[in-house]
Amino acid sequence: MATPGLLRIGISASVFHEDRSRTIFNGKPLYYVERGLARYVRSEDALAYLVPGTSTDDEADIYAADLDGLVLSGGVDVAPRHYGEAPQRPEWAGDAIRDRYELTLLRAMLDADKPVLGICRGHQLLNVELGGTLYQDVPTMVPGAIVHRDPDVYDGLAHPIDIEPGSSLSRIYGNLTRATVSSVHHQAIKRTGRGVVIEARAADGVIEAIRVDGPTWVRGVQWHPEWSDAGGPRILDPRPLYHAFLAACRTRRG
């Protein structure tokens, strides 16, 4: 039996779509969560729940009513069609099926005034839901772009960010205005959506952290706090951010 005081935190699922060339489960569709994210979510007074694809608004509303908060996970690109563009290359087409599932769940959580933390793709999806757009590829579309993704080192890649003084992110970290974070992405926020406030940027101007203006705790970070160990002690401590998220969940629970 679950301990009544533990928070119930949903994690949006990554998806392996049906693929008959894949031998595991005979190529059937799979929902999954990466282990580091599951460990991060359950590292404090919280239970982690993988939320499978929701097929209707009513089903998403049921999950939103039951959960105390939602972590939008990282993963495959957001489909450009969801922010009014066509993919400029076939490999940037994204996953429209996963988008629809996560956007339905996200809207239900926002309508229920439940806290949301978006990580990497989730950070981008928050912006898209609120009418913003993305750079489909940072290296070719952001002038003077620094390296944000290196397959050879993957989660070992890191770079500095500048945190807006006085921002909520800065306050979470004791008025910190500069930090080093992991970097595993090739897309990024381009035009911000309704109510989206920028809280941190990389040296090339890429948006690294956002909050959504309003009474509900809704934040996004472009980095992966759940993978901070890979970068060693120089990497921004992931715990204060998660503590702030859980504190908002506790306050919302009442």
The active-site residue, picked from 123, 148, 185, 224, is: 224
Domain assignment present for 203: yes
Residue 249 catalytic? no
120 in active site: yes
| CA 198 to mean position of chain CA atoms | 15
Question: Does any domain span residue 2?
Answer: no
Are 85 and 65 in contact by the 8 Å Cβ rule? The answer is no
Given its phi and psi angles, is residue 119 left (phi above 0), alpha (psi -120 to 50 degrees) or beta? beta
Expressed as residue numbers, the domain containing 194 is 7-253
- Candidates 102, 129, 226, 249; catalytic one: 226
| Burial annotation 121-155 (CB, 10 A radius, 16+ → b, else e) | bbbbbbbbbbebbbbbbbeeebeebeebeeeeeeb
Please indicate, yes or no, if residue 31 is contained in any of the structural domains: yes
Given this model, what pLDDT does residue 21 score? 85
- The number of residues making up the chain comes to 254
The answer to whether position 150 is within a domain reads yes
Active site residue 148: no
pLDDT of residue 55: 64
Residue numbers in the chain where pLDDT is lower than 70: 1-4, 55, 231
Is 1 among the domain residues? no
> What was the pLDDT predicted at 1?
41
| DSSP states of 223-234 | S-GGGGGGGGGG
Query: Which residues does 242 contact at the CB level (< 8 Å), separation at least 6?
Result: 40, 43, 44, 117, 225
Identify whether 105 is part of a domain: yes
Q: Give the residue from 226, 246, 249, 244 showing the smallest Cα distance to 236.
A: 226
Cite the beta strand spans of 80-204 per DSSP E. Answer: 116-119, 134-135, 158-163, 178-182, 188-189, 196-202
What confidence tens digit (pLDDT) does each residue in 111-122 have?
Answer: 999 999 999 999
CATH of the domain at 218: 3.40.50.880
Q: 102, 120, 123, 249: which one is catalytic? A: 120
> What is the spatial distance between Cα 49 and Cα 71, in angstroms, rounded to a whole number?
10
Residue 52: predicted pLDDT: 87
Query: Considering its fold, how many domains does the chain have in total?
Result: 1
